[in-house]
Amino acid sequence: DLIEQWREKRQNHPALAFETGWSLMRLGMYREAIAQLERYEKMKPGLGQTSEFIGRSHLFMNELDKADAKFNEALKRDPKLASTTRFHQAILETLRKNPQAASNHIASLLKEAPNSPTAQIFKNATLQAPGAKPPAGAGAKDYRLSDPIKIQLPPTTAGDVAGAIAKGVVGGLLGGL
């Protein structure tokens, strides 16, 4: 009887579906992640974080239109997700070979969440790019994170984003910071 109760709770507990979906995404099992996250979304509709994670899974499978729709939905549902959602939108546009749109998303990230760890990563990376000049009164040390944050990216995308920063696609956005 106790085992039956456990099985029933396991099948119907929303938090377990979310945690399973998030974990599967981190493991690179994107289709399975989407299935769990969509299940969670049916139990707890309207949460931006769910939309963002579904969007990330679509992004990592190169399903860019689906990812874009989910990222926009995430921002509408929860504007506080701007730092991570805008970051992934920039990756998406980099994959679409649209550096101006990628740059626009980074500009939005820096405007909407200037003190977020994601914004700090971009500030630091840009200031360390070849030929970078820190804003008046600030040095690259001001933008270092005491605890590096690992952001999950497909290997080719990470190289594309780093290359875009190094080439100055984002560099001009930091002039007023």
| pTM, full prediction | 0.70
Q: What is the pLDDT of residue 154?
A: 44
Residue ranges of the chain with per-residue pLDDT less than 70: 1-12, 125-177
Q: How far, in Å, CA of 161 to CA of 90, rounded?
A: 8
Q: What is the pLDDT of residue 170?
A: 44
Q: What is the pLDDT of residue 116?
A: 86
Q: What is the pLDDT of residue 147?
A: 38
Pair of tokens at residue 165: 């920063």
Q: What is the pLDDT of residue 158?
A: 47
Pair of tokens at residue 71: 């990222």
- What is residue 130's three-state secondary structure? coil
Pair of tokens at residue 91: 């990756």
Q: Maximum distance among all alpha carbons in the chain?
A: 69
Q: How far, in Å, CA of 122 to CA of 106, rounded?
A: 8
Asked if 160 and 95 touch (Cβ cutoff 8 Å), the reply is yes
Asked if 47 and 73 touch (Cβ cutoff 8 Å), the reply is no
Please tell me what DSSP assigns to residue 129: S
